[in-house]
Structure 1
């Protein structure tokens, strides 16, 4: 089982390419709160629903000072196609080696249709402006998750 982050941990630093191939680092968000969510694959039904939910609620989140970053193992070109097809406005990052996912506890053994498999664990980590974990959620559902985050954060 991957080591999971908990409230008060220091969020692991990362630098990954975005959908346009530009490097994006956690340090780029210093002083701002960021919601980092991990999802298995672009252009799949659950991941599309989740990404669209974040986009649909971006004004509420941004208005409360939160940026949103989605991380998957997909290549930047696939992320760009996903962003264009679904009109996404969240930052999408590529982690093909799954190193950042492992550092955040978002890759490892999980149950899928009753079987134990190794893969991306749908997870969300809220990072405060000082780089500490404010909230870490694992094995989240694609549908209704963004509404739950908004409720949990009191927005």
Structure 2
């Protein structure tokens, strides 16, 4: 079971391929706030809803000073299909090794349909301009999460 991050912790560095195979790293966002959200799988109903919610609110988040990066265990090719099929604007990166997922406490045991399974724990980590964890939300719901996140961050919806 990976350790969950707490506000004030240094966000673990990562460098992962995006949907085009281009490497995206946490360091790319130095000096800016970034919402890093972790989801189980591209092209699934809940993950699609969440990615579309982030895309729909991307400009509002950007205007409030936040970049958004979605992380899943998917390969870049699947992320590209997901992006094209759903017309997503959010940056999606793949972590097939699950090392970044684990470093962020977003991979481990979870309850699913009354059973304990090992997998991606739907989570959102907000990283500040200096690379420190500002907020850490675990076991979030796919539907309604972006609206709740924006309320928690004090951002008015469009």
Name the residue aligned to 1:61: 61
CA distance in 2, matches of 1:96, 1:30: 24
Q: What are the within-5 Å matches in structure 2 for residues 71-90 of structure 1? A: 71-90=71-90
Name the residue aligned to 1:93: 93
Name the residue aligned to 1:39: 39
| Secondary structure at the counterpart of residue 47 of structure 2 | helix
State whether structure 2 residue 16 is matched by structure 1 residue 16: yes
Aligned structure 1 segments of 4 or more residues deviating by more than 3 angstroms: none
| Secondary structure at the counterpart of residue 118 of structure 2 | strand
Structure 1: segments with no counterpart, 5+ residues: none
CA distance in 2, matches of 1:114, 1:139: 15
Name the residue aligned to 2:113: 113
CA distance in 1, matches of 2:33, 2:84: 26
- Aligned-CA RMSD value: 0.4
| Secondary structure at the counterpart of residue 59 of structure 2 | helix
TM-score by length of 2: 0.97
TM-score by length of 1: 0.99
| Secondary structure at the counterpart of residue 93 of structure 1 | strand
